[in-house]
Amino acid sequence: MEELIKKLQDEGKISQEVANVLLNKFKEVKQKLTSLEKEKSQLEETLKKIEVNKTTLQKQLETLEEKIKKAKEEGKNEVVKLLEEERLSKESLQRELEELKKQKEELQKRTILQSILQNYEVIDPELVEEVLLKRVKVIEGQLFLNNLPLKEGVEQFFKEKPHLIRAKGTPGSGGSEKDIPTTDNGEVNLTQMWARKLGIKLQ
């Protein structure tokens, strides 16, 4: 991206001042994306550990049930009482793990969604994020939006609601609300996107 900005500067399309502003903004975006990616990896690892702990607890509970049944058959009431107390404790821990899993999944949804939304010039990012979060579902560890993988779902969402993305150019320039700045290979043009956000007109 730095090379693209330098190229625009060399071609006289942007000044040194504009180039510096764009570079600083790109650094901020890059740092945020790096932070989001790190957070995403940590969340995935945490969720894996939670699943392992849940599986272990479930096996322990099944073993306890067998021990309780056997103790009852043998008339060992004191043993039954102790085992049932242990079972209640593990069931409580199981519920806590399930709640923790839900919290981590919600955080994971938000983190991944935020990283995807960085590729769009959304007029009201916080509002759109909250609207989409309510629609995102976790299916077998994967995120989906309207039955599509999250990234594709977000793309489809903006195709259906182009008014949520800032129109190309400045007001009155004739830009279409459907326009999203892209490069020749169809990728989002972050230089154009941030230039718009900062009110900078590239020649």
Where in the sequence is the domain holding 159, given as residue range(s)? 2-197
Task: Tell me how far apart the alpha carbons of residues 96 and 31 are, in angstroms, rounded to a whole number.
Answer: 34
pTM of the model: 0.59
For residue 203, is it within any domain? Answer: no
Q: pLDDT tens, 132-143?
A: 999 999 888 789
Please tell me the total count of domains within the chain: 1
Question: Which residue has tokens 């500067």?
Answer: 9
For residue 202, is it within any domain? Answer: no
Give Cβ neighbours of residue 196 (< 8 Å, ≥ 6 apart): 121, 166, 168, 169, 181
For residue 154, is it within any domain? Answer: yes
For residue 126, is it within any domain? Answer: yes
pLDDT at 170: 36
Q: pLDDT tens, 148-197?
A: 999 999 999 999 998 888 764 433 333 443 444 555 555 445 556 556 55
Q: pLDDT tens, 1-47?
A: 677 777 777 888 778 887 787 778 777 777 777 888 888 888 888 88
Task: Tell me how far apart the alpha carbons of residues 7 and 80 are, in angstroms, rounded to a whole number.
Answer: 77
Phi, psi of 188, deg, nearest 5 = -65, 130
Average pLDDT over all residues of the chain: 81
Query: Contacts from 171-180 at CB under 8 Å and sequence distance 24+?
Result: 180/120, 180/121
Q: pLDDT tens, 34-93?
A: 888 888 888 888 888 988 999 999 999 999 999 999 999 999 999 999 999 999 999 999
For residue 121, is it within any domain? Answer: yes
Question: Which residue has tokens 């103790």?
Answer: 71
For residue 81, is it within any domain? Answer: yes
Token pair, residue 191, equals 């230089």
- Pick from 26, 30, 25: nearest CA to 115: 30
For residue 66, is it within any domain? Answer: yes
Residue 115 has pLDDT above 80, yes or no: yes
